[in-house]
Amino acid sequence: MSKGKILVADDDKSTRELISIVLEDEGYDVITAINGIETIDKTVKEKPDLIVLDIMMPQMDGYEALNKIKENEEIARIPILVITARTIKIYEKISKGLGAVDHITKPFSPDELLDKIKSILK
């Protein structure tokens, strides 16, 4: 039985695959997206329980996607965990200011990611 459906949005294939493997091993169903536009489209279509959203992506960055998701009443309540390589604290404040429930900085351990996801989904 699935623990829930998680959308993983990251333009880096290896990061997307690593997160997907970790989540699938824990019993989550995983959907992936490679940019902000695809993230919004799949969020509307699939209604995941959580979105793991990278900030630096092509075509539409994670901040713009986050903002558009939170503006759409149909999907605005889906929690979003932002992941980014940007280490300056201001980026965490920006993410949370736009409506993300939490923030994690790359590189991160699978355990750190799972702890945050479990905390968000409980």
d(CA 11, CA 33): 8
Architecture of domain 5-121: 3-Layer(aba) Sandwich (3.40)
**pLDDT digit string (tens) for 70-112?**
999 999 999 999 998 877 778 788 888 889 999 999 899 999 9
State the pLDDT confidence band at 11, using cuts at 50, 70 and 90.
Answer: very high
DSSP letter string over 24-70? HHTT-EEEEESSHHHHHHHHHHH--SEEEEESS-SSS-HHHHHHHHH
d(CA 55, CA 85): 8
Question: Of the candidates 15, 14, 31, which has an alpha carbon nearest to the alpha carbon of residue 106?
Answer: 15
Q: CA distances (Å), 2 to each of 24, 63, 67, 97, 104, in order?
A: 9, 29, 28, 31, 24
User: In the numeric block, which tokens belong to residue 92?
Assistant: 């965490």
